[in-house]
Amino acid sequence: MNVPVIELKGSPFEKGFIHGSQMKKQVMVSLETYAHRYSQQRGLSWEDAKRLALRFTKVLTGEYEVYLEEMRGIAQGAGLELGDILALNLRSEILYSSLKDMHFEADECTAFSAIAPATKDGHALAGQSWDFNIAQREASFIARIPAEGNKPAILMFLEGGMVGGKGVSSAGMCLTLNALTTPRAGIGIPLHVRMRSALECKYLTDAMRRCLTTPIPGPVNFTITHKDGLSFSMELDPDGAEVLESEDGLMVHTNHYIGQKMRLSHPHSEGGSTYIRLARMKQLMKGKPLLTIGDFEGFLKDHAGYPSSICAHPSPDVPADKLKYEGATNYAFVADLTENRLRFVMGNPCEGSFEDIEF
């Protein structure tokens, strides 16, 4: 498995320092990638992005202050400033909401869950692919955080510099993410901080509250799946939220709003990839009764609609020297929450093999 794995323990600052010092290379790759994206898509210099991100320190208080302290640790460990780390943790809000009165299509991922009656033996399954700039493969790592007090142990799939991400917990939960876009913006708890705080919850109701707390500064979809056979997909923007329930045990989400209320209040996506991946994953899931973790490993390698497929690839027309900032599937995972089993592949799933990760 070609991805670093680290353990984060100690005080919030100490966790951050371990992250920043041991994953300094990954943090610097993230900084380079997002400096490029902010400049190209938003017309923002890195200093502009830092000033914008520092506005969010005023909401990272109370129960969320520990994550700001962890960001300070990352900054010190990597030899950077707090503003640099905040600008990374605000990547979704900066790229996909109108903080600069601009609007772009999200190019992120295909998330899914399957619970009874759709799965073999009623198992609770969940996972996703992550599609983004190929450069961010070098920024990716896995973080383990041991159980602390009332908080379960968690495992997260992270980009260098970020305190939260997709992952699973020993409380039997899996949290996945889909980036969305909106012409609106606000100030609130950033989505990557929400993800971390949700994964640290012992109970499903608390995790959903952390995801749904308003206001939220940008657009996002979270899907939480629980070992008890429950799954909810939550679409949010700065004006509100909509909670979607699984249908016949199946849930799929990509990078556009699908809830009835949210769909009517947002412009359609200008790219076809999100519609292709949603339709294809639904087709695959509905065509296979009594789904297993192995079925999803196969689905994540699917190339229908290539190159904008579930297993996404850059366009064959892109020159080799331009591939760095092209989008592709950077990794994929699927979890069996009933059996505490997690399968992961780095890079395009079609080019590698899923491996077990203990959690």
The enclosing domain of 233 has a CATH number of 3.60.60.10
Q: Is residue 103 part of a domain?
A: no
10-residue mean pLDDT profile of the chain (359 residues): values are: 93 98 98 95 94 94 97 98 98 76 60 98 98 97 97 98 98 96 86 97 97 88 98 93 95 95 81 92 96 98 97 92 92 97 98 93
Q: Are residues 83 and 127 in the same domain?
A: no
Q: Are residues 181 and 224 in the same domain?
A: yes
Q: Which residues have C-beta within 8 Å of that of residue 154, sequence separation ≥ 6?
A: 144, 145, 167, 168, 169, 170, 199, 200
Q: Are residues 76 and 153 in the same domain?
A: no
* pLDDT at site 98: 64
- Work out the end-to-end distance of the chain between its first and last CA atoms, rounded to an integer number of angstroms: 15
Q: Are residues 85 and 163 in the same domain?
A: no
* pLDDT at site 100: 43
Q: Are residues 71 and 142 in the same domain?
A: no
Q: Where among 32, 65, 96 does a domain terminate? A: 96
Q: Is residue 28 part of a domain?
A: yes
Q: Are 56 and 187 in contact (CB under 8 A)?
A: yes
Q: What's the domain count of the chain?
A: 2
Q: Are residues 86 and 117 in the same domain?
A: no
- Token digits of residue 169: 């917990």
* pLDDT at site 1: 64
Q: Is residue 158 part of a domain?
A: yes
Q: What is the DSSP string of 153-193?
A: PEEEEEETT-S--EEEETTSEEEEEEE---S----S--HHH
- Token digits of residue 131: 């599609």
* pLDDT at site 107: 62
Q: Are residues 177 and 297 in the same domain?
A: yes
Q: Is residue 63 part of a domain?
A: yes
In whole angstroms, give the CA distance from residue 179 to residue 166. Answer: 12
Query: What strand order describes the sheet that includes 327-336?
Result: 250-253, 109-114, 125-133, 327-336, 341-346, 355-356
Q: Are residues 74 and 150 in the same domain?
A: no
Q: Are residues 242 and 197 in the same domain?
A: yes
Q: Which domain holds residue 223?
A: 109-356
Q: Which residues have C-beta within 8 Å of that of residue 88, sequence separation ≥ 6?
A: 27, 30, 31, 34, 159, 160, 161, 162
Q: Is residue 137 part of a domain?
A: yes
Q: Is residue 241 part of a domain?
A: yes
In whole angstroms, give the CA distance from residue 119 to residue 290. Answer: 4
* pLDDT at site 270: 66
In whole angstroms, give the CA distance from residue 253 to residue 259. Answer: 10
Q: Are residues 92 and 33 in the same domain?
A: yes
Q: Is residue 104 part of a domain?
A: no
Q: Is residue 281 part of a domain?
A: yes
